Structure 1
Amino acid sequence: MPTRHVSHVPAALDAVIVGAGVVGAACAYYAGRAGLAVAVVDRGPVAGGTTGAGEGNLLVSDKEPGPELDLALLSTRLWRELAETLPPEVEYEPKGGLVVASDGAALTALRAFAAGQRASGVDARELPADRLPDLEPHLAPGLAGGFHYPQDAQVQPAQAAARLLRAARASGAGRVDVRLGEEVTAVLTDRRGAVRGVRTTRGDLQAPAVVNAAGTWGGALAALAGVHLPVLPRRGFVLVTEPLQPRLVRHKVYAADYVADVASGSAALQSSAVVESTPAGPLLIGATRERVGFDRTLSTEALRRLAAQATALFPVLGGVRAIRAYHGFRPYLPDHLPAIGPDPRVPGLHHACGHEGAGIGLAPATGLLVAAALSGGPAPLDAEPFRPDRFAAPEGATA
């Protein structure tokens, strides 16, 4: 059995958060601000999984109207607030996004997409072809037009997770302990099936709540609690260029087909260039998507596609060297929405995972929702669409 039964013992902790990526860090930050005592447990270092392999995107531009966009808009406001208190190492850049269309059909589709977004509170500004060089002087000629999204921003993801955890520990309202290099091996429950903590490689941690912020491994953590959550890894590669002149690329720039790739459920390799600068000088070039399990093999085809698409957007990059590439695994759920909040199948089990490639951007709102559920406070938005039990268990499964 994946769970272990324990007698009820009063716990010094209000919750154990499993995962020290940016989502787990945000859950700890807002739980601490709510006055709760929590422990963050991770088998590796801070940001050792998906967070450390991310680009740091804080996007509203790629999200259609609905629950995920509502979550992103709330997170956009929260990231702005956090940027005023977190140290500069977080590298918060409200640079804005620019989505470009190669032809009239793509521009018409973007226009319809942006109209729906505006109705939900997104600032989306159409630009004709002759105005694109005003925002990005080095863009390829011949584009049909595009949309400017001033709300898009970026952070350095590993620093964001680390600084959120440090701020959580220093807040003084609650208590936040961070336990790294400690793997959770079981979820503890009482005879009625309610959560009573976790068992780790260093011993038991007792608490009436466990938060599954394990990212791509969220399905495995859910299985330890005896429930089904179909999180799958979706691999992505990023190219890093040599340091370049400041403001060679001024915004987060991508072609319209990136939006379709984000919404796709295909397991095959998909690629659409997202090009952006960093404060240190190199450009980051993403993004690919493919479901190949946890295969860490370097894909030269994925890198070739990224390089070709990036130079098609910015011909000036044709003579620029790529100095390295890295990859990670996005936590994919079949309906492209994260699982957030209490799991009615196991009292005391909460989830905060399955954000796919949007976890860094959606982390603050996710943390606020989880903290509200843990503390009994009012939810900042309707969490019903993110219910963890919305997926049917496979036929014959016991969970």
Structure 2
Amino acid sequence: MTVDVVVVGAGIVGAASARALARRGLRVTVLDRRAAASGTTAHGEGNLLVSDKGPGPELVLAQHAAARWPSLVAELADELGGPGGGFPPIEYDPKGGLVAATTVEGAGPLREFAARQRGAGVDAREVDVAVALDLEPELNPGITAAVWYPEDAQVQPVAAAEALLASARRAGATVRTGVDVVGALRDGDRIVGVRTTAGDVPAGAVVLAAGPWSGVVAERLGVVLPVRPRRGMVLVTTRMPHVVRHKVYDGDYVGATQSGDAALRTSSVVESTAAGTVLIGSSREQVGFDDRLRAVVLREMAARAIRLFPFLAAASAMRTYLGFRPYVPDHLPIVGPDPRTPGLWVATGHEGAGIGLGPVSGELLADLFTGAAPAVDPAPFRVDRPAVVGADHGAHHGADQTETIAEAS
């Protein structure tokens, strides 16, 4: 049977796209070569941030997402039963974020960045050390500047993706896991479905939402898409009293997220989870799909975290994990139809912002697909922008290692 849309990828972006399309009455099938939400979605911290984005299209999308998340959480709770109703909570926590400079040199750029954000409508409040310590009593009192972002939030990413998929199923979508896409079905130049390890799946359109594997899958579909994996690692402490109250990171984090450098970049990102652990990040490096942990990266992350929170020097690390973020040269998501290939749509390239931006990206894609008026200007995220179609297409760096990837999306 031919469905209206095949969504390739069951992470949070694919789940959100499937939900939005199915709720508009389209027949949707979601395919993933491994378990749902087991790739990039399962290997992040669940950040819903405006604090790390400078003025521009991504910030506009993030502001829309920040406004949308509370109503989305309410919709999912009402639809799926919420806590105690048979579906686990997604742990949405609008706890706010604190960004601190730990050096004299870092204070000025942090204040300047916050001032630019305020000009774009972000609630970015410069606070003195006393207020910062009131917000986070265990913070290093030697910080040189701090900005409070009450709009930042956190969510449990796998639970959120699973909830979106459950909602999509209730709207009629089918989710098939353990199915690998190996090629395209074509009618002339138009894609009319996909070939998979479980047989052909005819469809009116295909949505590519495979996160950092999107470049690899695009190649199988006969398309070049410059999405590369950017590896990141996270340390997890043993459980402890809830000491870190908000999301806290140092001012270097913004520079690390916006860097195009393939070499290692680290910064300090610290936050507690509902389970009582503390998550410590973050790192970024382009090494293909190499999934080997590097002790030097973990040491750098730990040292930076201790500069923010000295008490962490005595904490015990319970485990560590890594994941791959979908990197695009201009650091903007790709959302919309691919004019080079009729029938192909794309929703990928969010790098480390996919959890926060996933739901609104899926809704944006569905708006474009159905001809509805989009809530944000889609032009900056189009597939045929210069940074995508004109990029150096070393996009499949590490593609020869795809069969050994443990965290496939």
Q: Shorter-chain-normalised TM-score: which range?
A: over 0.9
Q: Which amino acid aligns with 2:319?
A: R
Question: Partner residue of 1:392?
Answer: 390
* Offset from partner CA, 1:223-272 (integer Å, 9 cap, x none): 223221111111110000000102x0001000001111111011111111
Query: 1:104 Cα deviation (Å)?
Result: 4.4
Query: 1:105 Cα deviation (Å)?
Result: 4.0
Matched residue of 1:317: which SS? helix
The 2-side partners of 1:34 and 1:272 are apart by: 41
Q: Does 1:282 align with 2:277?
A: yes
Does the Cα contact within 8 Å between 1:231 and 1:331 map onto a contact in 2? yes
Question: Partner residue of 1:116?
Answer: 116
Q: Which amino acid aligns with 1:199?
A: R
Matched residue of 2:236: which SS? strand
Query: 1:389 Cα deviation (Å)?
Result: 2.4
Does the Cα contact within 8 Å between 2:226 and 2:394 map onto a contact in 1? no
Question: Partner residue of 1:140?
Answer: 140
Question: Partner residue of 1:203?
Answer: 199
The 1-side partners of 2:185 and 2:151 are apart by: 42
Does the Cα contact within 8 Å between 1:197 and 1:206 map onto a contact in 2? yes
The 2-side partners of 1:111 and 1:309 are apart by: 20
Indicate the percent of aligned positions where both proteins have the same amino acid.
Answer: 54
The 2-side partners of 1:223 and 1:396 are apart by: 12
* Offset from partner CA, 1:331-357 (integer Å, 9 cap, x none): 111111111100000111110011111
Matched residue of 1:297: which SS? coil
Q: Does 1:234 align with 2:224?
A: no
Q: Which amino acid aligns with 1:154?
A: Q
The runs of at least 4 consecutive aligned structure 1 residues that moved more than 3 Å come to: 393-397
Matches within 5 A, 1:1-399: 12-86=2-76, 87-88=82-83, 89-171=89-171, 175-191=172-188, 193-246=189-242, 248-390=243-385, 391-392=389-390
Q: For the aligned residues, what is the CA RMSD? A: 1.6
Matched residue of 1:381: which SS? coil
- Give the structure-1-normalised TM-score: 0.93
Query: 1:76 Cα deviation (Å)?
Result: 1.3
* Offset from partner CA, 1:93-143 (integer Å, 9 cap, x none): 111110001244422222221122122221111101221111000001111
Q: Decide which moves more: 55-64 or 120-129.
A: 120-129
Does the Cα contact within 8 Å between 1:97 and 1:152 map onto a contact in 2? yes
Gaps of 5+ in 1: 1-10
Change (3 A) 1:396 1:58: closer
Does the Cα contact within 8 Å between 2:225 and 2:393 map onto a contact in 1? no
Gaps of 5+ in 2: 77-81, 84-88, 396-409
- Give the structure-2-normalised TM-score: 0.90
Does the Cα contact within 8 Å between 2:226 and 2:393 map onto a contact in 1? no
Q: Which amino acid aligns with 1:367?
A: G
